Amino acid sequence: MKKLFTLALAAALVCFMVLPVGAAAKPVSELCEYSGSPDSFWVTENYDGAAPKTRAKAASGLPETFDLRNAGGVSFVSSVKNQGNTNSCWAFTSLSCLETFLRRKTFESSGELIGYDFSERHLEHATYPAMQDGTNPYAPACRSANAGGNVVSAAGYFQNGLGPVPESSMPFENKMDTLSRADIQIAPAAAVRAMRYFPKFTSNIFDYNYHELITGIKEEIYRGGGVSAVMNTNVGGYNADGTAYHSAERTGTANHAITLIGWDDNFRRENFGADKPEGNGAWIVRDSAGESAHDGGYFYLSYESVDTYNMCFSVTDAADSIPYDNVYSVTSGTWAYGRGYENNDDMAYAANIYAKQPVPELLTDVGLSFRGYTEYEIYLNANNQDLTPENLTLAAKGTQDHMGFATVTLPEPVLLTGTEFAIVIKYVTPGYSYSVPVSIPPFCPEISQGCSYLSPDGETWEDTALSDCVVGIYGYTKDCGEKSAVSFSKLGKTYVTVYDEGGRLIRPKADGSYALAAGTYRYIAEEQALGRAEGTFVTDGFTSRNLELSRTDFVEQPESDMPYVKVKEIAYRATVEPAEFATLNLYMGKAEGFKLYYEPPSGGQAEVEEQFLSVDAGGRVRLSREFLTPFLECGEGGVSLLVVFTGSNGLEMKTDTCRVVFTKSAFGGVFSALANVIYNPTESVNRAYVEQLIKKNLAIGGQVEIKQYDVAYPTKTQNGFLTCDILVLDAFSGRYYQFAFHGEVPRVLQEVTLQNGNYRVRVRNNVEGIRTVSVCAEYGPGGRLLSVTYKNVALIESSFSYPDKGNRVKLFVLSAEDFITPYAPAFDSDFTK
């Protein structure tokens, strides 16, 4: 079998070796409001951050000025909204893109201008797992309430058919709160069928340079709707009246998401504040700070604010109705990484297996993601999970020319008759081996075996759970068999789960109702204040049923002021050096105190001692690492707790239960942490720091041996040096990984590649305080100097393009103070062509 591998960090300072088979993941930026994207979305970090004055010239076929607020006399932009004190900017821009797209699509097809308005609050709260009353099984595991988000969060929400829902169904509230699972069970009002992700950096695969990126964004706005973008408000600044913003500094991070709704190539550079761009031109931005901010809620953003392009995306296909009855998926997350096979003609196969009810359904559409230009074929086994080629039928094929996801409508719907079916995708990405988009923890919940597979040839299959990833393939079906519509009349905030006779969990519709074949089913109803109710019911496959739940159905019927445990399952990452504490979320009501009891590994029941408990500023109870460690070390999957609430007299008022669940830790976190340390050298990093860093990310039971770690980090006057050899045993996968590097750590790094008639230059300053310029000298026959061009390098990193005119070129990195002192070895084209 060919060796399965993962896209690794493209850092000049890192050499990652795996023995015998390894999986490496790229780092994820965790930011205060806007959670940054996984860098592997963008393939490499070779970004063309140049800002030449010629950039403002209108692209072919595009006007110099365009504004979705007045596109041919029609506004496709909804009124400006205000996110208040929440961290939901990402949700506002995601739905702004959808609203503008649908307004325009509907108007152009029917002449009717519909004011679509979707709920940001629902998008925010339907995409985190730890809810008040338990775990939301359809949310990506990487989010928490009001902690920011990104396209990963929004795309998973759309692909799984969770939303969007009308604003009137869940109006915005300026609260930093958490909700219950029942709160988010609302029927969606639209279907997002495709999204486009714009490349962040130029690569040797997607050949998408800076100017092409701007043109691509303009084309999307001109022909579709708004484009989501980001900015880093900690650098640069606005002009005096807050209507124009520019930052030339490239930080590679972002803390706020916005929507680009137009542009003006002639917006003068003099309109910006003290930090002015080199040339004219700006985006028209719709913010989410209310109409009192900026100019009625809008401002201009310089084309040269390079952090804007850290992540851009748009909605490219959507419908204002739901064209399917059922959604089949094996993950709540969308793709964040790539998997493929070495020396395999840039080809790979992926398959997902789904269980369904024993009545016929029509598979009408298949949802899949793309890492860039992809030639794909969709195969089906409509009756069972057999993946052998002779049992698969070609259902559709096509090409996709950009990153993102799309919903492919099958030329002929396929009848699904069994209780299982399989969707197989053949991916071909010419010139690129990481063909298959996959999701890994924490972008998806715990991965189960037997549902997702990868193959180099479509014949030999490997379960993706063994390499800690899952493929996001979605099946959308219409009911054509006999089913009963089943709903529940709920009390309070009741959340109901339903199981068939075999114990298989049935996925509800987004609004919490069910469509069930004839049979006997078991339900479990949970309500925070009432407790838990269980029962069975029968459907005939024809008759609709509404099951009424009464207070007598629940095991407990406390008063509304009775205490209870808000969150039944508390995630605690099981690493060699775990977190300091697990946080319990208790509602005290009229209780004056509580006691915690647990079952020790030796058996029996014991009370948690006070030395292991503390209360944070928000009144939440913390259970210390010292208490949890013995359970981790003996291989327990968690700790079950009995909570006894007591009244003012010290007597028992009520008991409740919860469980601290030890979550698995993938090795990707170790690799990301180490790669980030080496790639961003600082003097505070030493052997002890590196060992602690590994242990914080390494699954419990793993081991680390630092055979060698000798470092001298660079200074302003000389380069540094690093020799490291680190061996890590990952208990989760049972594999050994070796992380090794031997070589110089330069003060300044210059990387040069020749792509499509341009020298692409990337310069990185590894020492604080160094200011440099990139200099391009062009020579003619006989060594005659023809021209010299220089460009300033940002404090940390910049990338530039210089045209290859066929002459000899030398590229230097010099001190910005004297234009003489070299900071990196010169590049000479005569010695490289």
Q: What is the mean pLDDT of residues 685-704?
A: 81
**Residue 309: what pLDDT?**
85
Dihedral sign (CA 265, 267, 268, 269): negative
Query: What is the percent of the chain where pLDDT is above 90?
Result: 39
Residues 810/779, Cβ–Cβ less than 8 Å: yes
Q: What is the mean pLDDT of residues 526-531?
A: 80
Residues 763/797, Cβ–Cβ less than 8 Å: yes
E strands, 665-803, where?
703-712, 720-730, 735-745, 748-755, 758-765, 772-779, 785-792, 797-803
**Residue 682: what pLDDT?**
62
Residue 786 binned pLDDT confidence (cut-offs 50, 70, 90): very high
**Residue 326: what pLDDT?**
94
Measured between alpha carbons, how far is 743 from 678 in angstroms, rounded to an integer? Answer: 12
Residues 823/815, Cβ–Cβ less than 8 Å: yes
**Residue 2: what pLDDT?**
36
Is the confidence at residue 561, as pLDDT, over 90?
A: no
**Residue 13: what pLDDT?**
27
Is the confidence at residue 442, as pLDDT, over 70?
A: no
Is the confidence at residue 206, as pLDDT, over 50?
A: no
**Residue 690: what pLDDT?**
85
**Residue 617: what pLDDT?**
62
Max CA-CA distance within the chain?
99
**Residue 405: what pLDDT?**
92
Find how far residue 590's CA is from the centre of its chain: 41
**Residue 112: what pLDDT?**
92
Q: Under DSSP, is residue 709 helix (H, G, I), strand (E, B) or coil?
A: strand
Measured between alpha carbons, how far is 545 from 542 in angstroms, rounded to an integer? Answer: 10
Among 151, 543, 586, residue whose Cα is nearest residue 334:
151
What is the DSSP track for 45-86? -B------GGGGSPPTTS-SEEEGGGBTTB---PPP-B-TTS
Contacts of 202 (CB under 8 A, 6+ apart): 44, 46, 47, 48, 208, 209, 210, 755, 760, 799
Residue written as token pair 């007299």: 649
Among 244, 306, 252, 275, residue whose Cα is nearest residue 50:
306
Rounded to whole angstroms, what are the CA distances from 158 to 120, 203, 399, 552, 825? 13, 28, 22, 38, 49
Among 192, 233, 161, residue whose Cα is nearest residue 95:
192
- Is cis: bond before 430, omega within 30 of 0? no
Residues 690/673, Cβ–Cβ less than 8 Å: no
Overall size of the chain counted in residues: 833
Residue 832 binned pLDDT confidence (cut-offs 50, 70, 90): low
**Residue 753: what pLDDT?**
80
Q: Write out pLDDT tens, residues 668-684.
A: 567 656 765 665 556 66
Q: What is the mean pLDDT of residues 283-310?
A: 92
Measured between alpha carbons, how far is 770 from 714 in angstroms, rounded to an integer? Answer: 11
Q: Write out pLDDT tens, residues 495-521.
A: 999 998 888 889 999 999 999 988 889
Per the model's pLDDT, the better-predicted residue between 203 and 71 turns out to be: 71
Q: What is the mean pLDDT of residues 752-780?
A: 85
Measured between alpha carbons, how far is 410 from 107 in angstroms, rounded to an integer? Answer: 27
Residues 729/694, Cβ–Cβ less than 8 Å: no
Q: What is the mean pLDDT of residues 199-225?
A: 72
Q: What is the mean pLDDT of residues 821-832?
A: 86
Is the confidence at residue 461, as pLDDT, over 90?
A: yes
Per the model's pLDDT, the better-predicted residue between 265 and 135 turns out to be: 265
Q: What is the mean pLDDT of residues 242-246?
A: 93
Q: What is the mean pLDDT of residues 327-349?
A: 84
**Residue 236: what pLDDT?**
83
Measured between alpha carbons, how far is 135 from 122 in angstroms, rounded to an integer? Answer: 16
- Lowest pLDDT segment from 208-217, 391-400, 730-739: 730-739
- Lowest pLDDT segment from 319-323, 557-561, 785-789: 557-561
Residue 429 gets the label, from left (phi > 0), alpha (psi -120 to 50) or beta, of: beta
Is the confidence at residue 200, as pLDDT, over 80?
A: no
**Residue 39: what pLDDT?**
28
Measured between alpha carbons, how far is 106 from 218 in angstroms, rounded to an integer? Answer: 21
The pTM of this model reads 0.65
Rounded to whole angstroms, what are the CA distances from 437 to 11, 39, 205, 371, 392? 21, 14, 15, 6, 21
Q: Mean pLDDT score of the chain, rounded to an integer?
A: 82
Measured between alpha carbons, how far is 461 from 456 in angstroms, rounded to an integer? Answer: 8
Q: What is the mean pLDDT of residues 159-172?
A: 94
Q: What is the mean pLDDT of residues 287-292?
A: 92
Residues 472/337, Cβ–Cβ less than 8 Å: no
Per the model's pLDDT, the better-predicted residue between 534 and 444 turns out to be: 534
Backbone angles phi and psi of 359, in degrees to 5? -135, 155
Is the confidence at residue 115, as pLDDT, over 80?
A: yes
Is the confidence at residue 36, as pLDDT, over 70?
A: no
**Residue 16: what pLDDT?**
30
Is the confidence at residue 31, as pLDDT, over 70?
A: no
**Residue 60: what pLDDT?**
57
Amino acid identity of residue 228, one-letter, is S
Measured between alpha carbons, how far is 122 from 190 in angstroms, rounded to an integer? Answer: 14
Residue written as token pair 């230009």: 373
Is the confidence at residue 606, as pLDDT, over 60?
A: yes
Is the confidence at residue 752, as pLDDT, over 70?
A: yes
Measured between alpha carbons, how far is 611 from 626 in angstroms, rounded to an integer? Answer: 9
- Lowest pLDDT segment from 116-130, 333-347, 516-530, 638-652: 333-347
**Residue 6: what pLDDT?**
30
Residue 407 binned pLDDT confidence (cut-offs 50, 70, 90): very high
Measured between alpha carbons, how far is 491 from 581 in angstroms, rounded to an integer? Answer: 34
**Residue 792: what pLDDT?**
86
Amino acid identity of residue 445, one-letter, is P
Q: In this structure, what token pair is assigned to residue 98? A: 């959808």
Measured between alpha carbons, how far is 516 from 358 in angstroms, rounded to an integer? Answer: 10
